[in-house]
Structure 1
Amino acid sequence: MRPNTLADAVESIQAGSARDVVLAEFVDMFDLAKTDQDRYASIEQEPKLTGDVRLDALVGAMAEYLAKQRRLGRVPHWVCDPARRLDRPWFTVANPSDAMREFLTFSSPAEFASRNIFTEERPLRRARGLRPSKS
């Protein structure tokens, strides 16, 4: 079952579900919400801190990014918690070269970079559209 809220997604991850899959499913549900009020409601409740500092920072970045990118008019208060920020840089690309580190440093959205998370320019984009049929 896909998570309806970011808090549900974090609970599912803590229960053993694959982080990348669950967070992608949450973004899909967020985008499928019928109204901005429904979208905001899906990020409003603070997810529990997990002790996984990267996950805790990542969900803060996601909530702030989604609120701003979708122009919801407000950002949940909980994203400002210092526990939602990393002490050390995290480059989301495995074994990045120096050039890749520099690229990610400058291309990361502010909502991620301010938490010391360095990722691609559009980190939550999802593939859309129909897949071509096999002949």
Structure 2
Amino acid sequence: MRPNSLAEAVARIQTGASWDVALAEFVDTFDLAPTAEARYATIEEEPILTNDKRLDALVGGVAEYLAKQHMLGRVPSWASDPARILDRPWHTCSFADHGMREYLTFASPAEFASRNIFTEERPLRRARSPFGRHLPEQA
């Protein structure tokens, strides 16, 4: 069962779920929400701070990124908490050599880069997302 909110996804991670699975399932929930208000409701509640600085920063970036990509008109205030910003750069690619780090630094969306997280250009792509489609729609 998919988490109903970003806060619920973080709670699942705290109980042992993998980051990749819990966050991907949350993005599916977000993308399937029928209205902008329903989407905002999935990011409105503040997820607990986990003492994992990377996860805490990532979750703030996810909320801000989704709110802006989907033009929800507002970002939850909790996403701006200084505890959600890393002190040191984190390049999310595990094989980030110098060239890859440079690419990630350049390509990372502002919502993540401002938190010192450097990732791919469209980090939350999902197959069902309008931002994840690679082929044009057929008429």
- TM-score (norm. length: structure 1): 0.93
Report the counterpart of residue 123 of structure 1 in structure 2: 123
SS in 2 for 1:58: helix
Q: Which runs of 5+ in 2 are unaligned?
A: 134-139
Report the counterpart of residue 25 of structure 2 in structure 1: 25
Q: What one-letter code is carried by the residue in structure 1 that aligns with 2:120?
A: E
Report the counterpart of residue 8 of structure 1 in structure 2: 8
Alpha-carbon distance, 1:95 to partner: 2.8
Report the counterpart of residue 80 of structure 2 in structure 1: 80
Report the counterpart of residue 133 of structure 1 in structure 2: none
Alpha-carbon distance, 1:97 to partner: 1.1
CA distances 1:19-77 after superposition (whole Å, capped 9, x unpaired): 10010000000000000000000000000000000000000000000000000000000
% same residue: 71
Q: Which runs of 5+ in 1 are unaligned?
A: 130-135
Is 1:43 aligned to residue 43 of structure 2?
Answer: yes
Alpha-carbon distance, 1:104 to partner: 0.5
Distance 1:111 1:63 in 2: 9
Is 1:57 aligned to residue 61 of structure 2?
Answer: no
SS in 1 for 2:31: helix
Distance 1:88 1:11 in 2: 25
Q: What one-letter code is carried by the residue in structure 2 that aligns with 1:115?
A: R
SS in 2 for 1:103: helix
Distance 1:100 1:64 in 2: 24
Distance 1:104 1:18 in 2: 23
Report the counterpart of residue 136 of structure 2 in structure 1: none
SS in 1 for 2:79: helix
Distance 2:104 2:17 in 1: 28
- TM-score (norm. length: structure 2): 0.91
Distance 1:116 1:45 in 2: 23
SS in 2 for 1:47: coil
Report the counterpart of residue 137 of structure 2 in structure 1: none
Distance 1:119 1:18 in 2: 18
RMSD: 1.0
